[in-house]
């Protein structure tokens, strides 16, 4: 297939990844190419040149609550997505995969003569919900977890659930962790990811914490993380996947502390692939993707509950964790799921373009 893959534009699609959506888009583009598809990735500048992306603008960023900055981002993104949709409409594509979280591709999808599928990576929010409502009623949607599908159910009746995948050859199984016991946390260092709660819970459990991730919110770091720094914490910075896998595999447990309804949580899949059990808050998709063999859940935002979950998690079998990842989070299985969705969309689109059947006169019927 000749596939147009529309990324979101806030950050480059490149390592070290700012977040899970950048990782997912990069992984999907590469996997589809390796499976023989002709993929054109529309993305912001700085995206991995190995993917041969079409650069459409500078990364737009996220605004961090600045209304003037948000207005500027909106203008830049609206113009960039308009250019993308013009290029898609005029290109020789078979299908469009919309991974953008932006309403403009959805609104403009009515202009296309080819089918488009949209992946839902977040719960509904105002602009994306408006875009979904403006899209053709026949558009296929995928959701990254049962939790996310349920969140969209009133607007998208039957999204196909295609869980996110990880490269099992990168996140290799470690049957034995590092000799010095510690736990690990990774993600964007922002309030909604809850690093400060992970620090407090690890201390309560008596285990050092190693953590990694970008710092897009200086105020959160200054007010909530810097005052907690001590000899039992190791800041590893922003890691690429090879280093991230090495540190995940060396930990006794991975801490996952979302303070919002996390739609998936790629770090969970990455940790399990390495054989590292997960201790996390019972929130969002975590109860969907963890079971008692590989994770221990805590009450949301409750440090004492998370500390108890850490103690339970470190006792779990690492081979069972890897098996859970192989069963549910193989990147090849994820890619095959999207291929099946594309094929179904193309078949439905071709059927919709057939002329209506001729009415046959039934013998003996009156004119």
Q: What pLDDT is attached to residue 363?
A: 37
Whole-prediction pTM value? 0.90
Burial of 219 (0-12, 13-18, 19+ CB in 10 A): exposed
Q: What pLDDT is attached to residue 64?
A: 66
Question: Looking at 305-354, which runs of residues are DSSP E strands?
Answer: none
Q: What pLDDT is attached to residue 359?
A: 40
Q: What are phi and psi of 78, to 5 degrees?
A: -60, -45
Residue ranges of the chain with per-residue pLDDT less than 50: 354-367
Q: What pLDDT is attached to residue 365?
A: 35
Structure tokens at 321: 């964790």
Cβ contact 343:312 at 8 Å: no
Q: What pLDDT is attached to residue 170?
A: 96
Q: What pLDDT is attached to residue 63?
A: 67
By C-alpha distance, which of 39, 303, 26 is closest to 165?
26
Cβ contact 320:293 at 8 Å: yes
Q: Which tens digit of pLDDT belongs to each residue from 178-211?
A: 999 999 999 999 999 999 999 999 999 999 999 9
Q: Which tens digit of pLDDT belongs to each residue from 10-27?
A: 999 999 999 999 999 999
């Amino acid at each position: 297939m000749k596939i147009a893959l529309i990324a979101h534009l806030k950050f480059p699609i490149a390592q070290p990844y700012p977040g899970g959506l950048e990782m997912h888009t990069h992984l999907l583009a590469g996997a589809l190419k390796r499976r023989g598809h002709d993929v054109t990735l529309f993305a912001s500048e700085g995206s991995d040149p190995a993917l041969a992306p079409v650069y459409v603008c500078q990364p737009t960023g996220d605004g961090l609550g600045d209304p003037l900055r948000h207005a500027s981002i909106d203008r830049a993104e609206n113009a960039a997505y308009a250019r993308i949709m013009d290029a898609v409409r005029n290109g020789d594509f078979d299908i469009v995969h919309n991974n953008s979280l932006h309403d403009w591709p959805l609104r403009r999808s009515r202009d296309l003569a080819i089918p488009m599928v949209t992946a839902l990576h977040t719960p509904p929010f105002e602009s994306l919900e408006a875009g979904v409502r403006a899209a053709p009623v026949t558009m296929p949607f995928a959701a990254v977890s049962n939790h996310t599908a349920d969140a969209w159910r009133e607007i998208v009746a039957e999204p196909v659930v295609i869980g996110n995948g990880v490269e099992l050859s990168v996140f290799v199984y470690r049957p034995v962790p590092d000799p010095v016991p510690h736990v690990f946390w990774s993600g964007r260092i922002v309030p909604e990811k809850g690093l400060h709660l992970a620090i407090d819970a690890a201390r309560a459990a008596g285990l050092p914490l190693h953590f990694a991730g970008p710092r897009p919110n200086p105020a959160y770091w200054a007010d909530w993380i810097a005052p907690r720094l001590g000899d039992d914490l190791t800041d590893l910075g922003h890691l690429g996947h090879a280093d991230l896998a090495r540190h995940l595999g060396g930990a006794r447990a991975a801490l996952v502390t979302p303070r919002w309804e996390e739609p998936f949580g790629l770090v969970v899949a990455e940790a399990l692939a390495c054989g590292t059990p997960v201790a996390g808050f019972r929130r969002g998709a975590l109860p969907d993707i963890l079971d008692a063999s590989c994770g221990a859940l805590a009450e949301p935002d409750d440090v004492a509950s998370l500390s108890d979950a850490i103690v339970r998690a470190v006792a779990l079998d690492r081979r069972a964790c890897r098996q859970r990842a192989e069963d549910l989070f193989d990147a090849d299985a994820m890619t095959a799921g999207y291929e099946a969705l594309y094929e179904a969309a193309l078949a439905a689109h071709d059927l919709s373009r057939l002329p209506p059947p001729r009415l046959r006169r039934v013998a003996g019927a009156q004119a």
